Amino acid sequence: MRPRPFLPESLEKSAKETKDAYVRNRTDGLVWHRCTYRTLYADTDRSKVVYHANYLRYFEVGRTTLMRDAAYSYRQIEADGYIYPIIKVGIDYYSPLYYDDDMTIYTRPGELERVKLQFDYVITHGETGAIVCRGFTRHCATNSSGKPVGIDEKTLLLWKNFPK
Amino acid sequence: MRPRPFLPESLEKSAKETKDAYVRNRTDGLVWHRCTYRTLYADTDRSKVVYHANYLRYFEVGRTTLMRDAAYSYRQIEADGYIYPIIKVGIDYYSPLYYDDDMTIYTRPGELERVKLQFDYVITHGETGAIVCRGFTRHCATNSSGKPVGIDEKTLLLWKNFPK
Amino acid sequence: MRPRPFLPESLEKSAKETKDAYVRNRTDGLVWHRCTYRTLYADTDRSKVVYHANYLRYFEVGRTTLMRDAAYSYRQIEADGYIYPIIKVGIDYYSPLYYDDDMTIYTRPGELERVKLQFDYVITHGETGAIVCRGFTRHCATNSSGKPVGIDEKTLLLWKNFPK
Amino acid sequence: MRPRPFLPESLEKSAKETKDAYVRNRTDGLVWHRCTYRTLYADTDRSKVVYHANYLRYFEVGRTTLMRDAAYSYRQIEADGYIYPIIKVGIDYYSPLYYDDDMTIYTRPGELERVKLQFDYVITHGETGAIVCRGFTRHCATNSSGKPVGIDEKTLLLWKNFPK
């Protein structure tokens, strides 16, 4: 079953600074953070396409770039004593990426609970715009000893400040 | 939320040949193929546990060992002109694996449709038996040009012959 | 033993187009292609630094970006029926990269023989400029069936046209 | 240039316990530790062979298995407060491994200095015995803060007790 297309449009024509980082998807009406990445030979397997596990790497690129762009880098969050281990992932694959393909990674903060949070992802093909996959990663909040804690203030601000 | 424990028991006391490969989980009553594997330093990340994407590698170990043990290796299936690309994955993570940990990988053929099939997985800690994660990979059947086709006879036999 | 520092300077002040891609290292007098990359959480291991094998991925980033910038992408070269499998690698590690570190990857065409070629690499820390590692990959030329052949014309041009 | 073949023979016919773990290579007269491993789909790339960086994973399998078999596991050595980061690697590739290939990994303690040590590796094809690659990893000894220290007693014993 084909997914609905991802149709990005700039949030504001005048806002030059943010025009590359945030877009609205006309299909679902939601705002997404956008960054680009490129596949490596190392990412492919003998069927000539990117090995399915590597999309979780690309999701990490999206998530970490979003957090850095929002001024609360995950590096800083870990330095502050928090860890956000992944407790659940899901991916639907629609069309493969090949060697040296450009991709666009769309990421947005998803569901937020007291000690859990989710990021949602869409990857599209850099040239055709076709949807490559959709997925999510669900995280819990712990301190550096692995004990569950409430979500830290910086991460909450990321949710609060994400463009609507 | 803690998962129900995985409680393996041998299928038949007399069946020496199969005693390591197939077990019944007393919790769900289902038969699972069993193999073991060990984490590498390469699999861990800076939080000292196995990076979440690497569990998809371990699922591959389970799936490929099951197919080989069942006499229809995936290598042979690709040599016959079939490919089973992954169209969906899901993983629930319960407790992490660390460097040099032994694990037990339980795999079973899951849902089967005309052009799609699913493998289910449970990974437990080699020493404690605690559940590390549960997941699935969903595949479609294609020929070597990527065209959807019916599932090949050997793979259907794997489903048919898997111990009940 | 500490390596001699890498001291990049632009090739020509007026050449805006190439100022980011090519630099001369004042220490060795050689011209190097330059690109940047960033480490992922996935790249690190439990000792908190990048796992040693991943520097070969970064070398691939350098090599493939150099070839693309030089107008003879490796993707195109494989499409033309050539493969350049690696027959030898060597890396000296001087100081580690950590999670979310920016790096600069310097790459240049090294020794060239009739059916073999070499790329040389230096990776420096994005902020400090400290040398992270030096290395090389040595390749032979084959056709798509793996038979040794002479190096293709496009790749020879890359060597010929690389700024002196 | 073809490498000299690796011709393993058991150290002692009567020593059942060690017959799988240690062999003498008739070509070089040296004793090597032996273990086996199998390639994954994840390890291959679009040229259908194992991606060159993954041989460093296989070297890790050899090194870590040797240390565990010698009763001084690297896991324990890190628990004792030592780390052995890699400062240099080199690999010569002779013939590729494909998907689902069995390999034999031969490892031996190489050169030993006051604060540095080396492991040497040979990987052969599981069925044909053909040499896949040869290589080494060179390590320095540090404490858990990364400060250079002398090599710990357990690791020295590994060198001392390795069969001659």
Of B62, B134, B128, nearest to B98 (Cα)? B128
> Tens digits of per-residue pLDDT, B15-69?
554 446 899 999 999 999 999 999 999 999 999 999 999 999 999 999 999 999 9
Backbone CA torsion sign across D148, D154, D158, D161? positive
Burial group, residue A6, by CB count within 10 angstroms (0-12, 13-18, 19+): buried
- Structure token pair of residue A1: 């079953």
Transcribe C23-68 into DSSP letters: EEETTT--EEEEEEEE--GGGB-TTSBB-TTHHHHHHHHHHHHHHH
Q: Which residue in D has a C-alpha nearest to residue A48's C-alpha?
A: D46
Chain D touched by A44 (CB under 8 Å) = yes
Query: Chains with ≥3 Cβ pairs under 8 A against A?
Result: B, C, D
DSSP string, A75-89: HHHHHTTEE--EEEE
Interval A115-151: pLDDT, tens? 999 999 999 999 999 999 999 999 999 998 889 999 9
Over residues D42-99, the pLDDT tens digits come to: 999 999 999 999 999 999 999 999 999 987 899 999 999 999 999 999 999 999 999 9
Q: Are C9 and C23 in contact (CB under 8 A)?
A: yes
Residue A157: how many other CB atoms lie within 10 Å: 13
Q: What values do phi and psi take at A67, rounded to 5?
A: -65, -40
Shortest CB distance from A48 goes to which of D41, D46, D98? D46
**pLDDT given at position B13:** 59
HSE at residue D55, side-chain half, CA atoms within 13 A, is 37
* Burial track B108-120 (b if 16+ CB lie within 10 A, e otherwise): bbeeeeeebbbbb
Q: Is a pLDDT exceeding 60 seen at residue D14? A: no
The ipTM assigned to this model is: 0.94
pLDDT per position in chain C (164 positions), as tens? 689 999 999 886 555 544 468 999 999 999 999 999 999 999 999 999 999 999 999 999 999 999 999 878 999 999 999 999 999 999 999 999 999 999 999 999 999 998 999 999 999 999 999 999 999 999 999 998 889 999 999 999 999 999 98
In a domain, A1, yes or no: no
The reported pLDDT for the residue numbered D18 is 47
Q: Tell me B19's DSSP state.
A: T
Cα separations in angstroms, D53 against A53, A77, C64, C123: 17, 31, 16, 17
Q: What is the pTM of this model?
A: 0.95
Is the residue at C1 inside a domain?
no
> DSSP string covering C72-91, please?
--HHHHHHTTEE--EEEEEE
Neighbouring C-beta atoms of residue B127, cutoff 10 Å: 10
Report if residue D58 sits inside a domain: yes
If residue C122 lies in a helix (H) or strand (E), which one and from where to where? Answer: strand C116-125
Question: Using CA atoms, how far apart are residues D77 and D72, in angstroms rounded to an integer?
Answer: 7
> What is the number of alpha carbons within 13 Å of residue D129 lying toward its C-beta?
7
**Any chain C CB within 8 A of the CB of A159?**
no
- Is D89 contained in some domain? yes
So what's the pLDDT on residue D13? 59
B133 three-state secondary structure: strand
Burial (CB < 10 A; 0-12, 13-18, 19+), residue C163, is middle
Which residues partner with A102 through β-bridges? A38
Cα–Cα separations (whole angstroms), residue B100 to B10, B37, B49, B134, D159: 26, 10, 10, 20, 21
- Top pLDDT among A94 and D13 is at A94
Residues of B in contact with A86 (CB under 8 A): 52, 93
Distance of CA B117 to the CA centre of its chain: 13
Least confident of A11-20, B110-119, D90-99: A11-20
Contact D40 B99 (CB under 8 A): no
Kindly state whether C100 is in contact with chain B, defined as any CB-CB distance less than 8 angstroms: no
**Which chain B residues are Cβ-neighbours of D40 within 8 angstroms?**
57, 60-61, 64
Average pLDDT in chain B: 93
Mean pLDDT of B107-119: 95
Is the Cβ pair C75, A40 closer than 8 Å? no
Is the predicted pLDDT of residue B11 greater than 50, yes or no? yes
CA distance D21 to D65: 9
- Give the list of residues 6+ apart from residue D103 with CB closer than 8 angstroms, or none: D36, D37, D38, D39, D58, D97, D123, D124, D125, D126, D132
- Cβ atoms of A91 and A52 closer than 8 Å: yes
Q: How far is CA B136 from the centre of its chain?
A: 8
- Residue to test with chain B: of A60, A93, A147, most B Cβ within 10 A: A93
Q: Provide the domain count of chain D.
A: 1
**pLDDT of res. A110:** 96
What per-residue confidence (pLDDT) applies to C67?
Answer: 95
Single out the residue of A78, A162, A80 nearest to residue A118, CA to CA. A162
Mutation target to probe the D interface, by most D beta carbons within 10 A, among A39, A41, A44, A45 is: A45
Q: How far apart are CA D79 and CA A13, in angstroms?
A: 57
Helices of type H across chain A:
54-69, 74-79, 153-161
Which has more confidence, A151 or B72? A151
Q: Quick check: A100 contacting C, CB < 8 Å?
A: yes
Q: What is the pLDDT of residue D16?
A: 53
How large is the C-alpha radius of gyration of chain B? 16
Q: Would residue C23 be called left, alpha or beta, if left means φ above 0 and alpha means ψ between -120 and 50 degrees?
A: beta
In a domain, D2, yes or no: no
Tokens read off for A102: 């450009």
Q: Is residue B2 part of a domain?
A: no
User: Any residues with CB less than 8 A from the CB of B49 and at least 6 apart, and which?
Assistant: A85, B96, B97, B98
Q: Does D57 touch chain C (CB under 8 A)?
A: yes
> Looking at chain C from residue 67 to 96, which residues have their Cβ under 8 Å from any Cβ of chain A?
68, 73-75, 78
Tokens of B74: 């995936």
Q: Which of A9, A6, A43, A1 is nearest to A122 (CA)?
A: A6
Q: Tell me how close the Cα of D43 comes to any Cα of chain B, in angstroms.
A: 9
- Alpha carbon distance A59, A67 (integer Å): 12
Among chain B residues, CA nearest to A60: B53
Q: What is the pLDDT of residues B83-105, one digit of tens each?
A: 999 999 999 999 999 999 999 99
Cβ contacts of C85 on chain D, cutoff 8 Å: 47, 49, 52, 93, 96
- B54 and A53 within 8 Å at the Cβ level: the answer is yes
Quick one: which of B17, B18, B29 has its CA closest to B8? Answer: B29
Mean pLDDT lowest for which of A88-102, B14-28, D120-134?
B14-28
Beta pairing partners, A86: A139
Domain CATH for D30: 3.10.129.10
Average pLDDT, chain A: 93
* A72 belongs to a structural domain: yes
Q: Phi/psi of residue A98, each to 5°? A: -110, 180
Give dist(CA A20, CA C75) in Å, integer: 27
Answer whether B96 sits within 8 Å of A85, measured CB to CB: yes
Q: Can you give the residue range of the structural domain that contains A51?
A: 8-156
**Residue D54 token pair:** 């993954």
Q: Is C121 inside any structural domain?
A: yes
- What phi and psi, each to the nearest 5 degrees, are found at residue D87? -110, -10
B99 near C CB under 8 A: yes
Confidence label for D20 from pLDDT (cuts 50, 70 and 90): low
- Assign A141 to helix, strand or coil: coil
B98: closest chain C residue by CA = C46
- B27: its two tokens: 């919790």
